[in-house]
C-alpha cells in the first residue's frame, strides 16, 4: 500500500482507544440535512459510553444554539455530544467586535438571520454597507452562482470586503448537491475581491473548540490531547486536520460518493479533483459506523 494511501476502516471501534477527543462534522457525516444516519448516532453513543469527549464542529453559518434545536428535531439529542461549535459562532464574535464601526449587508437566506440575533448590528442595503456577511445563496435549491454575477460585480467595483460564514463550497441535501457560501466567496476572491473566512479549515474554529475541551476538568492538566477529526470534506475537514496536525477519517457517502465504487476509491483522482494533491487522510469509511 502507498504510504500516502488512507487505511480503509471497517469501524471506529477499531481505533477508538487511540483518541481522547473526537471533532465530528455534522452535515454529510451525522446527517444529510434532512435526517440523521442511524449508524452515526450509534458511533456517538458508543464513544460517550467510553467517556470520549465529542465536539461537533460545523460550518453552519448560524449560532450553535440554533443548530442544537435543529439537531434535536432530526433526532440528535445533546446527550450524544459534549460541545457544539459552529462557524456561525466564530462569525458572531467578529460581528460583535466590529458592529459599532461597520455597516453589514447580509448575503444569504432569511433562515440564517439568527446569525445577527442579540447583536447590536446595523444591517444595511448593498449601497450603504461596509462589509458583506455571506451565509449562502438566498435560494440554494433553485439558484446557481451565475445568478450572483451582477451583485458580486457591484461589490467588486466598490471594493467591499466579504466575510464568509461557511467555507464549504457544496453540501449534499438528501440526494441533491447544493452550493454553499464558500462557493460564492471563492468566486468573489477569484475576481479580485477581498475575502475572510470563518470556519473549517481555518484556525479560529479549531482554537475555539480546543479551548472548550481544555477547560474541561478531564483535560486541564493534560499536555497532549489525542484528537481525531471525522468529516466528509477534504477542503475543510481534512485540510483543517492537516493544518492542526490531527489524524482524520474521511466519510465518503456525501459529496464524494461518486468516487466510491465497489468498495474502493481512487484517492489520487479524488485529491486532484479538489486541487490538494498532498493532503493526508489517515482513514476512510463509506459511512460513519462503529463496526
Give the residue from 152, 175, 197 where a domain finishes. Answer: 197
Residue 213 and residue 125 in one domain:
no
Residues 157 and 222 in one domain: no
144-202 pLDDT tens trace? 999 999 999 999 999 999 999 999 999 988 888 899 999 999 999 999 999 999 999 99
Q: What is the pLDDT of residues 60-94, one digit of tens each?
A: 999 999 999 999 999 999 999 999 999 999 999 99
**CATH number assigned to the domain comprising residue 39:** 3.40.50.1000
Q: How many domains does the chain contain in total?
A: 2
Judge if 110 and 246 occupy the same domain. Answer: no
Last residue of some domain: 180, 197, 214? 197
Highest mean pLDDT among 95-104, 128-137, 267-276: 128-137
Domain boundary among 152, 176, 197: 197
Distances (CA, A) of 67 to 35, 202, 208: 14, 20, 17
Q: Are residues 81 and 215 in the same domain?
A: yes
* Structural domain range at position 69: 7-88+201-285
Residue 97, domain member (yes or no): yes
Residues 6+ apart with CB under 8 A from 100: 120
Distance CA 60, CA 67 (A): 8
| pLDDT tens per residue, range 263-272 | 789 898 999 9
Instruction: Tell me: do 111 and 60 sit in the same domain.
Output: no
Are 63 and 152 part of one and the same domain? no
Strands 260-261 and 264-265, by their bridges, are antiparallel
Is residue 46 located within the same domain as residue 176? no
Look at residue 24 in the predicted model and tell me its pLDDT. Answer: 99
Which parts of 201-289 are beta strand (E)? 227-231, 247-251, 260-261, 264-265, 283-285
Domain membership flag for residue 207? yes
CB 117 within 8 A of CB 139: no
Query: Looking at the domain assignment, is residue 290 inside a domain?
Result: no
pLDDT per residue over 271-280, tens digit each?
Answer: 999 998 889 9
In a domain, 2, yes or no: no
pLDDT in tens, 245-258: 999 999 998 889 88
pTM to 2 decimals? 0.94
Amino acid at each position: 500500500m502507498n504510504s500516502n494511501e488512507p487505511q480503509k476502516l471497517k469501524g471506529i471501534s477499531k481505533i477508538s482507544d487511540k483518541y481522547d477527543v473526537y471533532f465530528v462534522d455534522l452535515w454529510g457525516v451525522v446527517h444529510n440535512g434532512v435526517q440523521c444516519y442511524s449508524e452515526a448516532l450509534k458511533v456517538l453513543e458508543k464513544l460517550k459510553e467510553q467517556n470520549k469527549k465529542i465536539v461537533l464542529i460545523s460550518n453552519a453559518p448560524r449560532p450553535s444554539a440554533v443548530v442544537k434545536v435543529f439537531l434535536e428535531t432530526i433526532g440528535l439529542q445533546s446527550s450524544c455530544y459534549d460541545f457544539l461549535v459552529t462557524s456561525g459562532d466564530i462569525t458572531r464574535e467578529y460581528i460583535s467586535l466590529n458592529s459599532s464601526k461597520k455597516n453589514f449587508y447580509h448575503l444569504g437566506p432569511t433562515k440564517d438571520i439568527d446569525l445577527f440575533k442579540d447583536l447590536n448590528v446595523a444591517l444595511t442595503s448593498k449601497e450603504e454597507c461596509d462589509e458583506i456577511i455571506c451565509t449562502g445563496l438566498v435560494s440554494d435549491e433553485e439558484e446557481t452562482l451565475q445568478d450572483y454575477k451582477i451583485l458580486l460585480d457591484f461589490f467588486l467595483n466598490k471594493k467591499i470586503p466579504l466575510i464568509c460564514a461557511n467555507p464549504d463550497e457544496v453540501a449534499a441535501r438528501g440526494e441533491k448537491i447544493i452550493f454553499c457560501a464558500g462557493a460564492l466567496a471563492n468566486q468573489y476572491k477569484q475576481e479580485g475581491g477581498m475575502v475572510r473566512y470563518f470556519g473549517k479549515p481555518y484556525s479560529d474554529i479549531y482554537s475555539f473548540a480546543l479551548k472548550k475541551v481544555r477547560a474541561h476538568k478531564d483535560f486541564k492538566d493534560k499536555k497532549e490531547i489525542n484528537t481525531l477529526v471525522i468529516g466528509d470534506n477534504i477542503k475543510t475537514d481534512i485540510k483543517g486536520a492537516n493544518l492542526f496536525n490531527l489524524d482524520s477519517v474521511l466519510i465518503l457517502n456525501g459529496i464524494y460518493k461518486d468516487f466510491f465504487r465497489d468498495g474502493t476509491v481512487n484517492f489520487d483522482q479524488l485529491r486532484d479533483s479538489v486541487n490538494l494533491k498532498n493532503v493526508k487522510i489517515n482513514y476512510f469509511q463509506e459511512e460513519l459506523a462503529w463496526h
